[in-house]
Amino acid sequence: MENNLQIHNLSKHYKDFSLQNISIDLPCGVIMGLIGENGAGKTTTIKAILNMIKRDSGEILVFGKDNIQAEQEIKEQVSVVLDQGFFYEGVTPEEVCLVMQKIVKDFDKKKFNEYLSRFNLPKKPIKDMSRGMMVKLKLAAALARPARLLILDEPTSGLDPIVRTEILDILRDFVQDEKKSILISSHITSDLEQIADYIAFIHNGKLVFCENKDQLLNNYGLLRCDDAELNLLNKSLIIGKRKNEFNTEALVKNKQAIKDAYPQLTVDKATIDEIMLYHVRRDK
């Protein structure tokens, strides 16, 4: 499968934080969710892709080309929605369109206006818009570009479920064209459970896993048992555990194998949130 984005052993060191050996492949026609706690390294990874920060080592290829050497060529086909970073609040959508037409080759004014109508966005300045409207405006500006890769940094945080669902529908539409891909960083994992094909989990600057979402959800399970039963299991299969009043709850790998070996144990489906939570706890 052809990849729109390939990250190999990306490292970036700061005084108090390091992104270490991140390797991710994002195939065409795929939505990948980038998850992790605040400060885990999601935005740093995105910034490295966009050459906003200088990587210390590793390689980033977008559409098969080095992201620094072919930066301008790549950016013609990459659209980005950032959590922080857009036009000044006094600017109106119409002015955004005029500027984008001058900056971006083939910026589609018609498409931009269609999105404005579809999103019911007013023609007033950004400062008079709600957060949801603002995200939609950023998205309209991103989608009106002839992009093959869409990168979104926390686009749905702080939005109500209706707006979020609307945005997720648009993202699904975007990857109908199998040459296109989306990398979306979010800590609202329920959104990613709905739309992502792959999940990449970054924790403390390291990639914990980058897996197909369905395989991930099939692989991990939540085991509810007592301590004695838990001790029966191979420790390497246990990612983390939590005791409560009645029993012990543990996140386990190889759900099916455990079910087969110990039919008496109850292994439930784990959500992405739970998978993330237990991985984070294991390290604390």
Partner 1 sequence: MSGLILKDLFTQKKNLRTMLIFCLIFIGVFGFFNGQIELVTSFIIFFASILSLSAFSFDKYSSWDNYALTLPISRKTIVGARYLLVLLLICIAASIDLLLILLLAQFKTITLWELLTSIYVMMAFILILLAFSLPLIYKFGAERGRLILISLALVPFIIIQGVANAGLNLPYEQFFKFLIIFSLPFALICYGLSYNIATKIYLNKEF
The answer to whether 232 and 182 are in contact (CB under 8 A) is no
Q: How far is the CB of 214 from partner 1 (least distance, A)?
A: 31
Measured between alpha carbons, how far is residue 25 from residues 2, 31, 54, 272 in Å?
Answer: 10, 11, 20, 20
Q: How far is the CB of 34 from partner 1 (least distance, A)?
A: 16
- Count of beta carbons in the 10 Å neighbourhood of residue 135: 25
- Count of beta carbons in the 10 Å neighbourhood of residue 233: 18
54 interacts with partner 1 by CB under 8 A: yes
Which is nearer to partner 1, 32 or 142 (by Cβ)?
142
Length of the chain: 284
Up-side HSE of residue 224: CA atoms within 13 Å toward CB? Answer: 8
Which is nearer to partner 1, 102 or 235 (by Cβ)?
102
> Of 3, 23, 29, 104, which one interacts with partner 1 (CB under 8 A)?
104
What phi and psi, each to the nearest 5 degrees, are found at residue 261? -75, -35
- Selected range binding partner 1 among 44-52, 58-66, 178-186, 230-238, rule: CB under 8 A: 44-52
Name the DSSP letter for residue 106.
T
- Selected range binding partner 1 among 92-100, 216-224, 234-242, 276-284, rule: CB under 8 A: 92-100
The answer to whether 19 and 12 are in contact (CB under 8 A) is yes
61 interacts with partner 1 by CB under 8 A: no
Q: How far apart are CA 281 and CA 279, in angstroms?
A: 5
- The three-state secondary structure class of 49 is helix
Q: How far is the CB of 89 from partner 1 (least distance, A)?
A: 7
Size, binding site for partner 1 by CB under 8 A: 32
Which is nearer to partner 1, 12 or 255 (by Cβ)?
12
The answer to whether 279 and 208 are in contact (CB under 8 A) is yes
- The three-state secondary structure class of 54 is coil
59 interacts with partner 1 by CB under 8 A: no
87 interacts with partner 1 by CB under 8 A: yes
Which is nearer to partner 1, 107 or 201 (by Cβ)?
107
Which is nearer to partner 1, 103 or 228 (by Cβ)?
103
H-run or E-run covering 182: strand 181-185
> Of 70, 91, 237, 265, which one interacts with partner 1 (CB under 8 A)?
91
Interface residues for partner 1 in 137-196 (CB under 8 A)? Answer: 151
Q: How far is the CB of 86 from partner 1 (least distance, A)?
A: 5
The answer to whether 44 and 210 are in contact (CB under 8 A) is no
Which is nearer to partner 1, 88 or 246 (by Cβ)?
88
Q: Is 276 exposed, middle or buried (0-12, 13-18, 19+ CB in 10 A)?
A: buried
71 interacts with partner 1 by CB under 8 A: yes
6 interacts with partner 1 by CB under 8 A: no
Site residues (vs partner 1, CB under 8 A): 47, 50-54, 71-72, 75-76, 78-80, 82, 84-91, 95, 98-105, 151
